[in-house]
Structure 1
Amino acid sequence: MFCPPCPAALAHVWNAFARLGARRASGFGASPISFLEIESFQRLTGLRFMSLEIRLIEELDDLYRKIMSEKAE
């Protein structure tokens, strides 16, 4: 599967998603990254995301969980 490189302008969003995802709760499948976790991440790191960037994190998370669910089947 071909994956194009991450645009430099969005690298901070990808890095935030990766950091949040590495600490996600798990059980019967991967839990979604919550708004509370994103809010805490922003507070603790000093980063501030625009609403579009939060939406990108949500979409990356949705895609990740979909792929992981398909692999588990």
Structure 2
Amino acid sequence: MTIPPLPLSVRYLWSTFHRISNRRPSGYGLSLIPWSEIAAFQQVTRFKLSGWELEIIEALDMELVAAHAA
């Protein structure tokens, strides 16, 4: 299956998701990224995510956790 490249206009969201995802707490299996980690990311990087950007990151995170649970 060939997946087309992400449009340039949203690649930063994929990169941001990966950066935050790499900071998720470890434990028993993969869990959702805590809001505290997203808030910490925004504070440290001084990159304020808008509501729709947070919704995209949240949706990506839920898909990743669901795929790992399957």
Structure 2: give runs of 5+ residues left out of the alignment.
none
The question of whether the paired residues in 1 share the 8 Å contact of 2:30 and 2:65 is answered with yes
Map 1:45-64 to 2 at 5 A: 45-64=45-64
Q: Percent identity?
A: 34
Map 1:1-73 to 2 at 5 A: 1-70=1-70
Report how far residue 29 of structure 1 moved. Answer: 1.3
Q: How many residues align?
A: 70
C-alpha deviations, 1:39-72, integer Å up to 9, x for none?
11011011111100000000000000111111xx
Aligned partner letter, 1:63: E
Q: Give the structure-1-normalised TM-score.
A: 0.84
C-alpha deviations, 1:25-46, integer Å up to 9, x for none?
1222112112211111011011
Q: Give the structure-2-normalised TM-score.
A: 0.87
Root mean square deviation, CA, Å: 1.2
**Bigger shift: 57-66 or 11-20?**
11-20
Structure 1 outlier segments of 4+, above 6 Å: none
**Bigger shift: 50-59 or 2-11?**
2-11
